[in-house]
Amino acid sequence: MSKHVAAKRLAAPDIASRKGGEPIVCLTAYTAPMAALLDPHCDLLLVGDSVGMVVHGLPNTVGVTLDMMILHGQAVMRGAERAMVVVDMPFGSYEAGPETAYANAARILKETGCQAVKVESGPEVAATVEYLVRRGIPVMGHVGLRPQAVNVDGGFRAKGRTQTERERVLAEAAATDAAGAFAIVVEGVAEDLAAEITTAVRAPTIGIGASAACDGQILVTDDMLGLFDWTPKFVRRYADLRTAVSTAAAGYAADVRARTFPAAAETYALGAKRRVAGAGDAE
């Protein structure tokens, strides 16, 4: 029997029970190696539909497909052992009604092995959230700045600047909570609104650009690693990988052009006997 005992993976009730307690640490992940690096430090990894912009170069998340989310969800599940993995339902995969949403969410859970899905939520999808939760699919909500509404909103803008907008965001959070979401992402709102939502709802709130008033925090990993030349105001950069990657690529290019790479130490020296290369040789 293998001595390796897999770490117990966190699940929706573990995250839900952290309301008002130790802050919930979340980051996005899209690939297996990055998920493996983030896993020991995070409670929850979100395979966000931000993958469309971050990895695939799309202008927004509207073009992201269910197949893309499933492919990246599978990769993240291979890399992460302990963190709960949540996969975003892409635009068009859940809004039409509960039954379509259920079929698509079930596909995500079956084909990736992830523990839950996330939907951009409010009163208009509350019945869908409840339908999924009652049928065994944990749902994370997402209120405030909802990136999939970019075409209605005309851009990515913080929410809650007017009283009407404030009430709309509060209503989104209340409806998502009443529908049974185990956690709610709150994006792009000022601290007082984030605090009001966090007090009003039973589910833990996970803030992104929503102040420290939330029960947990999430960032797009590539933003906090400094992989882009521009990041929103609310992002803190913990690394400057853009410079590191660019410097590494420039060094490699210079060495190849100068014929100093590969050197003898990076070159196979085959013995007198001719051998057919096999998988074990490539070390």
Identify the H or E element spanning 133.
helix 126-134
CB count, 10 Å around CB of 117? 27
| 145 HSE (CA, 13 A, CB side) | 17
Q: Which of residues 38-67 bind ligand KIV (CB under 6 A)?
A: 46, 48-50
Q: Which of residues 162-201 bind ligand KIV (CB under 6 A)?
A: 185
Q: Which of residues 236-265 bind ligand KIV (CB under 6 A)?
A: none
Contact 128, 175 (CB under 8 A): no
Q: Which is nearer to ligand KIV, 58 or 251 (CB)?
A: 58
The identity of residue 64, as a single letter, is V
Binding of residue 218 to ligand KIV (CB under 6 A): yes
Identify the H or E element spanning 110.
helix 98-112
Catalytic residue among 111, 187, 191, 283: 187
Q: Which is nearer to ligand KIV, 132 or 145 (CB)?
A: 145
Q: Which is nearer to ligand KIV, 139 or 218 (CB)?
A: 218
**Nearest-approach distance from CB 195 to ligand KIV, in angstroms:** 19
Q: Which is nearer to ligand KIV, 7 or 94 (CB)?
A: 94
Active-site residue flag, 187: yes
Binding of residue 88 to ligand KIV (CB under 6 A): yes
Contact 208, 46 (CB under 8 A): no
Within 8 A by CB and 6+ apart from 101, the residues are 89, 93, 94, 95, 119, 125, 128, 131, 132
Which residues of this chain interact with ligand KIV, rule CB under 6 A? 28, 46, 48-50, 88, 142, 185, 208, 218, 220
Enzyme catalytic residues: 187
